[in-house]
């Protein structure tokens, strides 16, 4: 995918959290720029502040120091152009599948008819037709994450933020869902083409992303920024693939 | 950042608010007209105690129910307001939770002076004012507990859910309806059952508002029971108790059980055994019956919708736009303006100064804090000195001994409650049907007012066994305490995972072994929570347990409850009331901080079932 103009950048961002035991610095002076159309994976050991970066881009958190610049402007409040997908799905148990998918549409001013149409489209896109009226507790893990994905895609965001989206799924389900994600992402009609994904699985990052950011452990700092130049679909048994794996391993260790 | 400072009240909010204001004016006009017409009949000069007959019972029950309903609905609004504020803001948590803790330990008669001077004073003794005062008093036995429910439910909301809702741009009233309100439902239903029981229990005190010579007796089931007991009409007392129990039972079947089952869907899957599990199910015959009456049910629902339509319309068209959307929007605009026009320049200036001299960064806030602290402290001291200036009423000299005696009484009652609860729960833990029945018994038992039980107690215990008022007062306190550990433990054991029981049985544990290794440890958090609730309830119940009027005679034992009751009912002395409450609340908070809180913390963490 062609590298487009700059979409957002983190400008010397430091993030501290106040805990009862004292202040903890989670990110220390992190800067990077993301271009439109990029698929970026962020890898690193747990506690490196990977999820914090996603929450900064989505505007849920404000940096303690530095700035998040989105489309040339500093981000002041919740970023309505970004949509999040959560590791534990973040579905509301009291809403049906359709209502969960609809969650972000009302705040964006869509009327009822438009909302219905959107919901139907994206439920179909993730293959959940017939489950519109089901409640999350009635679904398997893979299906729940499809709902989470549909909810994020339905707002047709400029950027999709995914926080370990496949970690709570079993191996087979996560392979299927990864393939589908690649299909959706490479679909040219589809408005979303910038993705930032956090993962702790190095192979998953290399398989999906154009670019991998490697974070070092607490406080998180950028230890590496790699361009993955492999044709898709990528094969884990490929020699070039395992060279990337080794390289990232050495950066983390 | 430049995004701030350009927020204005959205146009659709303004337009709707204008419409609503018009409706509101019409509404108020109509109300004023009605009140004006009926004014004469509203003003009841006589609200004295009247002799009761069996014929008064239905209307008394209905009036009390309406009062309870009004109080419950206002408690819900209060609970959401304060509970959310406490859970979502840092200052709220520090301020509101201790405040609620304190208010919770003030017994209902402690609110009498406030109720009389505010509600009855404001309406100059109209019946409406007295009714409002009574509703307010019931409110003081229902609201705090519900506010804690909202606080806890919101506080334990998974971060993912919060982030999801926020990141998709859901804000304001949408956020409330989509996230907070549903998340609070299970916990709120559980605590509502307790709140209703508590409301019924203290109904007697709430329907007879008396400070010194000022007395208002409102017709209701509470005053009915009290009057019947005072005049020694045992038959009427029994009829009253039967009527009250059937009201409570029908509410349980028609309302709380269906609601608890409906609430299952609002439960977070990850959280297990949060203590809000009642394990309530419908008996099979109810299912069968509900299949039979489903058409009737849906017709009824339609009828309710029609009946509630005006209320919903008022809510949607008048109250929400005018009293929620508009103020919120206005507040946000004002805060925004203050932030961008006043605070920001100040901060920038301040930062300039600070950057020049580093030490001012800590010195200036510290100085301001000290000045403010001294100011507030002086003001509060002056107020207190004014209120509590000696000469103190002689009553106060009895205060330390009274508190000590009451504490002893409560310890005995607590030992009795736990001693009764534990064998009962162990006996029925693997008998679900029995457990259900016992839960219902606990619920009804918690609701029956102590005062009404007094004549029965006199008949059964005091006359036959001797021991007099001392035994009776402990038994009465027990009626306000016993149910909480029972209720909580019954809920607690229903969360024991079935596979764990099977695993233990598979290992060959006997029944006694199961009790020791599984049931007792598993119910420990519920037992502690129940004991804490019972302890608090016991202090509140003291006022109606240590001081009882029966056959135009006053029975009392020495204790803080009777001291407080005397200062309210006999002396009507605000200073004495304040001192009694201050002493009692201080003592309760002290025991909470140094005894219950440490126990609670160490138990809850250790004996929790992981999801």
> What is the DSSP annotation of A75-142?
--S--TTEEEE-TT----TTS-HHHHHHTTTGGGT--HHHHHHHHHHHHHHTT-TT-TT--GGGS-HH
CA–CA distance, B503 with A200 (Å, rounded to integer): 36
Q: Where does the pLDDT of residue A1 fall: very low under 50, low under 70, confident under 90, or very high at 90 and above?
A: very low
CA Rg value for chain B: 27
Percent of chain B with pLDDT over 90: 6
Average of per-residue pLDDT values in chain B: 78
How far away is chain A from the Cα of B160, in angstroms, using its nearest Cα? 5
How far away is chain A from the Cα of B345, in angstroms, using its nearest Cα? 18
Q: Where does the pLDDT of residue A236 fall: very low under 50, low under 70, confident under 90, or very high at 90 and above?
A: confident
Helix, strand, coil % (nearest 5) of chain B?
80, 5, 15
| Residue A196: strand pairing partners | A40, A161
Whether the Cβ atoms of residue A156 and residue A191 lie closer than 8 Å to each other: yes
Instruction: Give the E-state strand segments of A20-57 in sequence order.
Output: 22-35, 39-43
Mean pLDDT of A15-25: 81
Mean pLDDT of B478-485: 86
**Is residue B207 scored above 90 in pLDDT?**
no
Closest CA to B522 of B597, B436, B426: B426
**Is residue B361 scored above 70 in pLDDT?**
no
Whether the Cβ atoms of residue B400 and residue B584 lie closer than 8 Å to each other: no
What's B213's DSSP letter? T
What's A210's DSSP letter? S
What's this model's pTM, rounded to 2 decimal places? 0.75
- B173: which 2 tokens? 């009233």
Residue A98 confidence (pLDDT): 92
Closest CA to B517 of B527, B531, B525, B507: B507
Asked whether the beta carbons of residue A94 and residue B266 sit closer than 8 angstroms, the reply is yes
| Helix orientation angle between B524-545 and B181-201, rounded to the nearest 10 degrees | 40
- B549: which 2 tokens? 């009027």
Mean pLDDT of B392-412: 85
Residue B284 confidence (pLDDT): 55
| Cβ-Cβ contacts under 8 Å for A20 (sequence gap 6 or more) | none
Mutate to test the interface with B, among A52, A71, A78, A90 (most CBs of B within 10 A): A90
Q: Which chain A residue lies closest to B185 (C-alpha atoms)? A: A94
Residue A196 confidence (pLDDT): 92
Q: How many residues does chain A have?
A: 253
CA–CA distance, B180 with B201 (Å, rounded to integer): 30
CA–CA distance, B491 with B499 (Å, rounded to integer): 18
Asked whether the beta carbons of residue B169 and residue A104 sit closer than 8 angstroms, the reply is yes
Q: Where does the pLDDT of residue B273 fall: very low under 50, low under 70, confident under 90, or very high at 90 and above?
A: very low
**Is residue B262 scored above 70 in pLDDT?**
yes
Asked whether the beta carbons of residue B182 and residue A74 sit closer than 8 angstroms, the reply is no
Q: Where does the pLDDT of residue B167 fall: very low under 50, low under 70, confident under 90, or very high at 90 and above?
A: confident
Mean pLDDT of A25-32: 88
Token pair 């599984």: residue: B518
Average of per-residue pLDDT values in chain A: 86
**Is residue B390 scored above 80 in pLDDT?**
no
CA–CA distance, B540 with B341 (Å, rounded to integer): 50
Token pair 């239903």: residue: B189
CA–CA distance, A17 with A19 (Å, rounded to integer): 6
Phi-psi region of A131 (alpha: psi -120 to 50; beta: other; left: phi over 0): alpha
- Residues of B within 8 A of A134 (CB-CB) are none
- B111: which 2 tokens? 């609110």
Q: How many CB atoms lie within 10 A of CB B265?
A: 16
Question: Which is more confidently placed, B392 or A141?
Answer: A141
| Cβ-Cβ contacts under 8 Å for B321 (sequence gap 6 or more) | B13, B16, B17, B19, B20
The lowest-confidence range among A58-67, A174-183, A206-215 is: A174-183
Return the exposure string of B428-448: e unless at least 16 CB atoms fall within 10 Å of the residue's CB, then b: bbeeeeebbebbbebbbbbbb
CA–CA distance, B472 with B478 (Å, rounded to integer): 10
Q: Tell me the three state secondary structure of residue A237.
A: coil
B35-40 long-range contacts (CB < 8 A, ≥24 apart) are none
- Residues of A within 8 A of B178 (CB-CB) are 92, 95, 103
The lowest-confidence range among B353-367, B412-426, B494-508 is: B353-367
Question: Which is more confidently placed, B114 or B390?
Answer: B114
Mean pLDDT of A143-147: 90
Mean pLDDT of B87-96: 82
- Tens digit of each residue's pLDDT (9 = 90 or more) over B588-605: 888 888 888 888 887 766
Asked whether the beta carbons of residue A90 and residue B163 sit closer than 8 angstroms, the reply is yes
Closest CA to B442 of B496, B488, B495, B494: B488
SS3 sequence of B341-389: HHHHHHHHHHHHHHHHCCCHHHHHHHHHHHHHHHHHHHHHHHHHHHHHC
- Tens digit of each residue's pLDDT (9 = 90 or more) over B107-162: 888 888 888 878 877 777 777 888 888 999 999 999 998 998 899 888 888 888 88
Measured CA angle at B473 (ends B470, B479), to 5 deg: 145
CA–CA distance, B545 with B559 (Å, rounded to integer): 10
Q: How many residues does chain B have?
A: 611
**Is residue B173 scored above 80 in pLDDT?**
no
CB of A142 within 8 Å of any CB in chain B? no
Residue B44 confidence (pLDDT): 46
CA–CA distance, B248 with B250 (Å, rounded to integer): 6
Strand order in the sheet with A73-74: A22-35, A6-19, A65-70, A73-74
Residue B499 confidence (pLDDT): 74
**Is residue B257 scored above 50 in pLDDT?**
yes
- Residues of A within 8 A of B262 (CB-CB) are none
**Is residue B437 scored above 90 in pLDDT?**
no
Q: Where does the pLDDT of residue B491 fall: very low under 50, low under 70, confident under 90, or very high at 90 and above?
A: confident
- Give the end-to-end CA distance of chain B in Å, rounded to a whole number: 43
Please give the backbone phi and psi of residue A134, each rounded to the nearest 5 degrees, phi first. Answer: -75, 155
**Is residue B484 scored above 50 in pLDDT?**
yes
Asked whether the beta carbons of residue A93 and residue B169 sit closer than 8 angstroms, the reply is no
Asked whether the beta carbons of residue B178 and residue A103 sit closer than 8 angstroms, the reply is yes
């Amino acid at each position: 995918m062609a590298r487009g103009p700059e979409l957002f950048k983190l400008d010397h961002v430091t993030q501290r959290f106040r805990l009862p035991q004292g202040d903890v610095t989670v990110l220390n002076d992190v800067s990077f720029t993301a271009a439109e159309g990029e698929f970026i994976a962020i890898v690193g050991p747990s506690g490196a502040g990977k999820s914090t970066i996603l929450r900064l881009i989505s505007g849920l958190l404000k940096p303690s120091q530095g700035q998040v610049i989105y489309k040339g402007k500093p981000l002041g409040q919740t970023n309505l152009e970004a949509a999040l997908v959560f590791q534990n799905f973040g579905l509301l148990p009291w809403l049906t599948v359709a209502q969960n998918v609809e969650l972000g549409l009302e705040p964006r001013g869509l009327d009822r008819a438009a909302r219905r149409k959107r919901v139907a489209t994206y439920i179909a896109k993730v293959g959940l037709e017939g489950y519109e009226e089901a409640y999350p507790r009635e679904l398997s893990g893979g299906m729940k994450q499809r709902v989470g994905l549909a909810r994020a895609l339905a707002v047709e965001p400029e950027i999709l933020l995914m926080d370990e989206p496949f970690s709570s799924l079993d191996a087979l389900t996560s392979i299927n869902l990864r393939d589908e994600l690649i299909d959706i992402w490479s679909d040219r009609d589809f408005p979303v083409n910038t993705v930032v994904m956090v993962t702790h699985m190095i192979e998953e990052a290399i398989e999906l992303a154009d670019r991998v950011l490697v974070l070092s452990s607490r406080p998180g700092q950028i230890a590496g920024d790699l361009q993955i130049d492999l044709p898709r679909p990528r094969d884990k048994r490929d020699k070039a693939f395992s060279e990337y794996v080794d390289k990232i391993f050495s950066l983390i260790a | 950042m430049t995004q701030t400072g350009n927020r204005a009240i959205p146009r659709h909010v303004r337009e709707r608010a204008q419409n609503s204001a018009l409706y509101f004016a019409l509404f108020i006009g109509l109300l004023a007209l009605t009140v004006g017409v009926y004014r004469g009949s509203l003003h009841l000069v006589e609200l004295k105690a009247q002799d009761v007959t069996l014929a008064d019972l239905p209307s008394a029950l209905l009036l009390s129910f309406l009062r309870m309903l009004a109080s419950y609905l206002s408690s819900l609004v209060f609970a959401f307001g304060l509970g959310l504020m406490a859970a979502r803001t840092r200052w709220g948590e520090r301020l509101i939770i201790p405040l609620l803790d304190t208010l919770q330990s003030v017994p209902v008669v402690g609110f009498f002076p406030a109720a009389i001077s505010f509600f009855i004073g404001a309406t100059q003794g109209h019946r409406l004012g007295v009714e409002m005062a009574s509703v307010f008093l019931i409110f003081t036995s229902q609201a705090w507990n519900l506010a804690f429910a909202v606080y806890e439910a919101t506080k334990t909301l998974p971060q993912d859910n919060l982030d999801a809702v926020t990141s998709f741009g859901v804000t304001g009233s949408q956020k409330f309806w989509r996230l907070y309100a549903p998340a609070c439902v299970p916990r709120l239903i559980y605590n509502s059952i307790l709140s209703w029981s508590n409301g019924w229990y203290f109904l007697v005190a709430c329907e007879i508002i008396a400070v010194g010579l000022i007395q208002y007796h409102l017709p209701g089931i509470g005053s009915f029971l009290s009057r019947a007991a005072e005049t020694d009409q045992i038959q009427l007392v029994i009829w009253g108790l039967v009527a009250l129990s059937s009201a409570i039972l029908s509410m349980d079947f028609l309302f709380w059980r269906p609601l608890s089952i409906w609430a299952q869907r609002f439960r977070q899957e990850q959280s297990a055994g949060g203590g809000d599990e009642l394990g309530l199910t419908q008996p099979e015959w109810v299912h069968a019956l509900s299949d039979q009456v489903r058409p009737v049910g849906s017709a009824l629902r339609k009828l309710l919708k029609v009946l509630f339509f005006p209320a919903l319309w008022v809510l949607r068209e008048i109250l929400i736009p005018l009293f929620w959307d508009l103020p919120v929007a206005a507040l946000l605009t004002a805060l925004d303006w203050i932030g961008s026009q006043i605070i920001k320049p100040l901060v920038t200036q301040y930062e300039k100064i600070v950057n020049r001299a580093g030490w001012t960064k800590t010195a200036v806030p510290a100085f301001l804090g000290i000045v403010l602290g001294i100011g507030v402290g002086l003001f509060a001291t002056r107020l207190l000195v004014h209120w509590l200036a000696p000469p103190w009423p002689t009553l106060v000299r009895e205060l330390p001994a009274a508190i000590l005696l009451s504490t002893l009484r409560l310890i005995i009652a607590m030992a009795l409650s736990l001693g009764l609860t534990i064998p009962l729960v162990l006996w029925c833990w693997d008998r679900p049907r029995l457990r259900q029945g016992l839960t219902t018994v606990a619920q009804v038992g918690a609701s029956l007012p102590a005062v009404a039980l007094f004549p029965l107690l006199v008949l059964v215990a005091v006359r036959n066994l001797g021991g007099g008022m001392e035994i009776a007062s402990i038994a009465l306190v027990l009626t306000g305490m016993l149910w909480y550990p029972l209720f909580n433990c019954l809920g607690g054991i229903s969360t024991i995972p079935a596979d764990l029981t099977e695993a233990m049985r598979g290992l060959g544990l006997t029944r006694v072994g199961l009790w020791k290794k599984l049931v007792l440890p598993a119910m420990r958090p519920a037992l502690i929570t129940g004991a804490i609730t019972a302890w608090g309830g016991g202090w509140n119940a003291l006022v109606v347990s240590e001081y009882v009027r029966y056959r135009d005679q006053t029975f009392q034992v020495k204790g803080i409850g009777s001291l407080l009751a005397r200062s309210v009912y006999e002396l009507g002395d605000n200073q004495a009331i304040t001192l009694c409450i201050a002493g009692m609340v201080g003592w309760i908070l002290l025991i909470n901080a140094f005894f219950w809180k440490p126990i609670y913390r160490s138990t809850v963490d250790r004996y929790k079932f992981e999801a």
